[in-house]
Amino acid sequence: MKKMGKTEAVDVSTEDKIKNAARIVFHKKGYAATRTRDIAEEAGINLALLNYYFRSKEKLFKVIVLETTSDFFGCVIGAFKDENTTFEKKIEVLVENYITMFTKKPDILFFILSEIRNRPEDWLSIIPARQMLTSSAFIRQFQEKVAAGEIKEPNPLHFVMNLLGLTAFPILAKPFLSAVADLSDKQFNRLMQERKKMIPVWMEKMMKMS
């Protein structure tokens, strides 16, 4: 029995090693530019072993898409569904979580945007965006504020686009912004931390504009 346990542990370790390598390569190069050989080399294994665990690049890519999507939306789904926090607090949590994730894992943002554009069919079936925009506590609170006259623009998509623009665009434009302002990574990250407090204030003012 102990021998079987060790074998299973090795199997799990190898599969995880492949997935970790695939995540690195796919996030960096995207689906089209990635070869299974690239992933095998990143994982430090031979191509035959990779093919034993994952029969095709397509299958492995879908695993990485699902896991990356879970990371991307996992930090916001809880805030959207939380029945015990105010709308304003949800904005603070969303900004905090998004900036923390984008700063630590900028490749996730580039990967998702690139692959949504190139392979939308792989994302539409697993991204819970529609449910979040129709049945969450966040949207219900948004609609209540619209009805009360506290939010002037009734379309929640404008709110979502503004929020994503304020949090995601600086990460996408980091090379340009850092070059123009002569910022080190440490200085840029400090700016992003400052935005965690500033963005909720800006969002509140934008929502009240007629």
Confidence of residue 48 (pLDDT cuts 50, 70, 90): very high
Q: Does the pLDDT at position 121 exceed 90?
A: no
Place of tokens 């031979």: 46
For 92-112, write each residue's pLDDT tens digit. Answer: 999 999 899 888 888 888 888
The more confident residue out of 28 and 124 is 28
Instruction: Identify the residue whose tokens are 């949207």.
Output: 139
The Cα-based distances of 53 to 30, 45, 46 in angstroms read: 21, 12, 12
Q: What is the DSSP string of 160-200?
A: HHHHHHHHHHHHHTHHHHHHHHT--HHHHHHHHHHHHHHHH
What pLDDT is recorded for position 55? 86
pLDDT, residue 124, reads 62
For the chain, domain boundaries: 1-55, 62-207
Range scoring the smallest mean pLDDT among 52-66, 126-140, 159-173: 126-140
pLDDT at 60: 92
Q: What is the mean pLDDT of residues 8-18?
A: 71
Residue 157 has pLDDT above 80, yes or no: yes
Please state which of the four CATH numbers 3.40.50.300, 1.10.10.60, 3.40.50.2300, 1.20.1300.10 is assigned to the domain occupying 1-55. 1.10.10.60
How many CA within 13 A on the CB side of residue 107? 10
Average pLDDT over the chain reads 85
Other beta carbons less than 10 A from residue 152's beta carbon: 12
* 3-state SS class at 185: helix
Q: Which amino acid is at 163?
A: L
Residue pair 26/118 in contact by the 8 Å Cβ criterion? no
